Structure 1
Amino acid sequence: MAGLAATSMASAGAFETGSRPAHDKTLQAGLDALVKPGGVADGLLPGALMSVRNPDGRVTNYTAGVGDIRTKSKVPTDGYVRIASNTKMFVSVAVLQLAGDGKLALDDTVEKHLPGVVRGTGAGAAIDGRNMTIRQLLNHTSGMTRAMPLMPNGILPIKDRYFEARELLDAALAEAPTFAPGQDRVWEYSNAGYVLLGLVTQKVAGRPLAEVITDQIINRIGLKETYYPGPGDRDIRSPHPRGYLTATDAEGKPIPGKLTDITRFDPSIAGAAGQMIATPSDVNKFLVALQAGQLLKPQQLAEMRKTITAPGFPESWTYGLGVIGMKLSCGVMAYGHGGDADGFQSRTAITTDGRAVTLAVTNDEAGRGEVLAFFDKALCATK
């Protein structure tokens, strides 16, 4: 898909709009259906929350289900959730800001900024930072592994373990690459590639990645409910719903109707690929500011939205530099991302005419197809 320049949007003042339009009854019914016991997700999605922002800045927040299956408490309106791989959009913006300031170029090799660091070992011996560019990391054409080798048995055995970014990278460098960097028409999603981008960003900026994202993105556009958890932070700020995993037996088989609470864990296992936490409305504010040109210069935003084919994603989706291009069922184009952290599944995007939707549910494993279908419906709605 061709890159798109920044679309004219409502002014920054619209960020403070406090109007509370009536809920769209059709969208509320669709959200209720996702969490209905015995419904489309077999009752494995306890709760859902969504924020919709119209082009004029009007915001409507929706909830459904329960926020805690033990107490049956309500889902908090616009509560905090782990936004997981939506973090990649923030990392991409940080990298593109450095590019816009002339501190790096997208076609620089990784070697230029981290000399001698990226050398594969064992099965990953073919990995070499001299043959890998910043752009390839951003759009998942670097060949870095898709695997997360430090969690072979899922999150539960390591939920309280803290991981340094270099530890994550070293584990990935021992995994065989999926293909040669930049190989024609080859694409493979890689969390490890974004962990590496986080290290590149730190080196070029001369500051920790969390600080760069906080200063250059979060504080710049006034996101009050978005943050990058610090070392050792296993909790989620309040208010928030609980997050769940589908329970399994001793053989790893799902136990019908049973859930395990995984709200509290150390997200450092995801690092720059998926560590952040935010409320749905704040993620929408980020998307609006990004599209309005408040975070990137027009050239860098256009680069971000130059997308390529992404095998394994829905047929109408393509991938740019840390952002997904989504051709919706109504024919409208939207840009955003998604994230699956243990306990939370989220989808977010903004249409080219400025309708932003962020949807989150409290189980990252259940009902993914149904969640995507409803997300498309919410973006295509007009209220």
Structure 2
Amino acid sequence: MGTAAVVIAASAISGCAGAQVPRDDGPHLQRYVDAITALGVTGVQARAVDDAGRSALAVSGVAETDTERPVPHNGYFRVASATKPMVATVVLQLAGEGRLSIDDSVEAYLPGVVVGTGAGREIDGRRITLRQLLQNTSGLLDDYPGFDSKAQYYEHRFDTYSRAELIRRAMAVAPAFEPGQGWAYSNTNFLLAESIIESVTGNSWQVEIEQRILRPLGMRHSVWPSGSTTLPDPHARAYSVFPGSDELVDTTEVLDGTENLISTTADMNTFYRALLGGKLLRPTELGEMQRTVDIDDRTELLWPGGKYGLGLVQRPLPCGGEYWGHGGGDAGYITSDGVAPDGKRSVVVSQTTALPEKMIEQEAEASELVAHALCGT
């Protein structure tokens, strides 16, 4: 895997580099990233920010197989579903401005869009609220094209699907339960939330995130794919192991039809610290975001003790209390993160290999790192 390295630096909440200031726990952070690469992950980068805004950075493994090129300590990666808290934040900001209500029906903003009969079960947007979309309690499921093999990846990695098409496909899938009667993780919920943002504002959801989150917070290293099949430099390459094989397949180049964010550990820490620190939402809306429900048993295996708010996950800390965040995974890039309730401590971890048969172990090791950083042990 190459030689592990640790970089200790200081940075302001904006993510701008500052004077070099050592952190005592930097070498200890290194143990956790090394434990992740020991599972077979090609490369890992982690950045933890303490109460004083100082960052400890650790990298392990290599940026590319068959080389000794080190993982960049502030490399770009696809954050995937870690974009969801940003979508939820914009919806809640619009609610705070009186431009929508999260207890309104989806039909009120997207007439005729959420309707269908999946395997005999009716889908009706008049019975689903915006809150249920952001909370994953709508019952809606996904019909996402994916890659189950190396051959499928090479054949379909540049296929394009519009958001409207992905929503239409989902309308033919039987809902998991009646609205509000269960919990099921669903990307379709957030595709619909993005469409509602556009319906209310007249702008694309990306523009709203740019104007409301990225620019005000100085997140200059957060960009949209905009049709590109790769990432800005520097970045570590991503790899996937497909079912029935132990081969590492380079899956860096892919067309992300959902247009989720590409970012860095510095920028994502900036976002989470601002969100929980009350810089993006008023107390009323942040309180709504943190009203949680139980998750399903399958997801509980990945997030032990976890609960789900509005685009935000709550998990317990071994030292007491809880933390918030929302990980993600896309074509080999896996993001784990966490932020203290007051927004003062945070950590973001990016892995560059998806190991389906070790998914729970990967998540557990990343969660150990997050807990270490937030507990300050």
The question of a shared fold, defined as TM-score above 0.5 by the shorter chain, is answered with yes
Q: Which residue in the other structure is 1:3 paired with? A: none
Query: Which residue identity is paired with 2:239?
Result: Y
Residue 46 in structure 1 maps to residue 42 in structure 2: yes
Counterpart Cα distance in 2 of 1:239 and 1:127: 44
Q: Which residue in the other structure is 1:379 paired with? A: 373
Q: Which residue in the other structure is 2:325 paired with? A: 336
2:316 corresponds, among 327, 341, 349, to 327
Residue 208 in structure 1 maps to residue 209 in structure 2: no
Deviation at 1:69, TM superposition (A): 0.6
For the Cα contact (< 8 Å) 2:12–2:18, is it kept in 1? Answer: no
1:171 corresponds, among 143, 150, 169, to 169
For the Cα contact (< 8 Å) 1:124–1:175, is it kept in 2? Answer: no
Alignment deviations for residues 313-348 of structure 1 (CA, whole Å, 9 cap, x no partner): 233211000000111111131111110111111111
Residue 198 in structure 1 maps to residue 194 in structure 2: yes
Worse overlay, 313-322 or 21-30: 21-30
Q: Which residue in the other structure is 1:115 paired with? A: 111
Give the alignment of 1:84-233 within 5 angstroms.
84-123=80-119, 126-145=122-141, 147-151=142-146, 153=148, 156=153, 157-183=155-181, 186-230=182-226, 232-233=227-228
Counterpart Cα distance in 2 of 1:99 and 1:259: 45
Counterpart Cα distance in 1 of 2:55 and 2:45: 13
Counterpart Cα distance in 1 of 2:48 and 2:310: 24
Residue 30 in structure 1 maps to residue 35 in structure 2: no
Unmatched 5+ stretches in structure 2: 1-10
Change (3 A) 1:29 1:264: same
SS at match of 2:122: coil
SS at match of 1:357: strand
SS at match of 1:166: helix
Alignment deviations for residues 283-311 of structure 1 (CA, whole Å, 9 cap, x no partner): 00001111222211111111111111112
Alignment deviations for residues 92-121 of structure 1 (CA, whole Å, 9 cap, x no partner): 011111111111001000010111111114
For the Cα contact (< 8 Å) 1:110–1:132, is it kept in 2? Answer: yes
Change (3 A) 1:264 1:362: same
Counterpart Cα distance in 2 of 1:368 and 1:30: 11
Deviation at 1:213, TM superposition (A): 1.1
For the Cα contact (< 8 Å) 2:33–2:369, is it kept in 1? Answer: no
Alignment deviations for residues 223-263 of structure 1 (CA, whole Å, 9 cap, x no partner): 01112222x221111111000001x4xxx5122xx200001
Deviation at 1:70, TM superposition (A): 2.9
Worse overlay, 121-130 or 99-108: 121-130
For the Cα contact (< 8 Å) 2:338–2:348, is it kept in 1? Answer: yes
Counterpart Cα distance in 1 of 2:334 and 2:365: 9
Q: Which residue in the other structure is 2:4 paired with? A: none
Counterpart Cα distance in 2 of 1:124 and 1:134: 24
Q: Which residue in the other structure is 1:79 paired with? A: 75
Counterpart Cα distance in 1 of 2:252 and 2:45: 16
For the Cα contact (< 8 Å) 2:115–2:123, is it kept in 1? Answer: yes
Deviation at 1:148, TM superposition (A): 3.2
Query: Which residue identity is paired with 1:167?
Result: E
Query: Which residue identity is paired with 1:298?
Result: P
Alignment deviations for residues 175-195 of structure 1 (CA, whole Å, 9 cap, x no partner): 000000012xx1111111111
For the Cα contact (< 8 Å) 1:329–1:376, is it kept in 2? Answer: no
For the Cα contact (< 8 Å) 1:64–1:75, is it kept in 2? Answer: yes
- How many pairs align? 352
SS at match of 2:325: strand
Alignment deviations for residues 59-98 of structure 1 (CA, whole Å, 9 cap, x no partner): 1221111000132310001111111110101100111111
Counterpart Cα distance in 1 of 2:56 and 2:118: 52
Deviation at 1:56, TM superposition (A): 1.1
Counterpart Cα distance in 2 of 1:87 and 1:333: 21
Q: Which residue in the other structure is 1:18 paired with? A: 18
For the Cα contact (< 8 Å) 2:336–2:367, is it kept in 1? Answer: no
Counterpart Cα distance in 2 of 1:280 and 1:346: 9
For the Cα contact (< 8 Å) 1:31–1:374, is it kept in 2? Answer: no
